[in-house]
Amino acid sequence: MTSPSALIEEAMRALANNDYVRAARILHFAAHSGDSHAQYLLAHAVRGMASDDGASPAMRRWYEAAAAQGHAMAAFELACLLDSRAIVRNDRKEFCNRNVERAESLYRQAMQRFKENAQRGESESQCMLGIGYRCGLGVPLDLDQSIFWLSEAYRNGCTDAANQLCSIYMSKQCPTELDRMQARHWYQEAKNAGCQCLYVEEYE
């Protein structure tokens, strides 16, 4: 009998290959059995199978189920979804206010869990916490905290953090020469790590 962790790994390989149908089949039992990570991944599989970028009821249901169990990324994705729907449906003020309030609550929930994991040294959570501080999602807008956590994330192996750091230094309203040097440094780090780099024309 295949272990739950092996099934999750198999499903993640299928998702990486854009084989959403296979991933959904693999994840079905674990998700229905209450595994929050399987529920989160199943939401991604359902999203990948959709013919457009809309939010299907099944996708939202699995994000909701995972978020209810404290899955940080599920809460974050669901908040982003509600945020975008509030913008698209701005003709209905009451609908928008409900979605925005729920999104803000989910962002706070996600960032609290990311912070707990980040303090334990989990690089992906450190990166997400850094993004939260950069954008003011669920935590106060704080570029110093953002740079700190993104730097920690990169130091602990999250290469995507290099792109975020490059973007922070390049996006400053009046960048100093030191800011430009930092941006060049993080651009090279991202490029060397094989990331799809931002600001290519600036440094090529």
pLDDT digits (tens, 9 = 90+) for 105-136: 999 999 999 999 999 999 999 999 999 999 99
Residue 155 neighbours by CB distance under 10 Å: 12
Q: Report the alpha-carbon distance of residue 176 to residue 22 in Å, rounded.
A: 50
For residue 5, what pLDDT is reported?
83
Q: Report the alpha-carbon distance of residue 66 to residue 73 in Å, rounded.
A: 9
Q: Report the alpha-carbon distance of residue 117 to residue 96 in Å, rounded.
A: 31
Buried b (16+ CB within 10 A) or exposed e, 166-195: bbbbbeeeeeeeeeeebbbebbebbbebeb
Q: What is the mean pLDDT of the chain?
A: 86
Residue 47 neighbours by CB distance under 10 Å: 20
Q: Report the alpha-carbon distance of residue 159 to residue 175 in Å, rounded.
A: 23
Q: Identify the weakest region by mean pLDDT among 17-21, 25-29, 58-62, 196-200.
A: 196-200
For residue 25, what pLDDT is reported?
94
What would the pLDDT profile of 10-24 be if each residue is shown by its tens digit? Answer: 999 999 999 999 999
Q: Report the alpha-carbon distance of residue 111 to residue 126 in Å, rounded.
A: 10
pTM of the shown model: 0.81
pLDDT at 183 > cutoff 50: yes
Helix (H, G, I), strand (E, B) or coil at 11: helix
Q: Report the alpha-carbon distance of residue 164 to residue 183 in Å, rounded.
A: 10
For residue 97, what pLDDT is reported?
60
- The amino acid present at 142, given as its one-letter code, is D
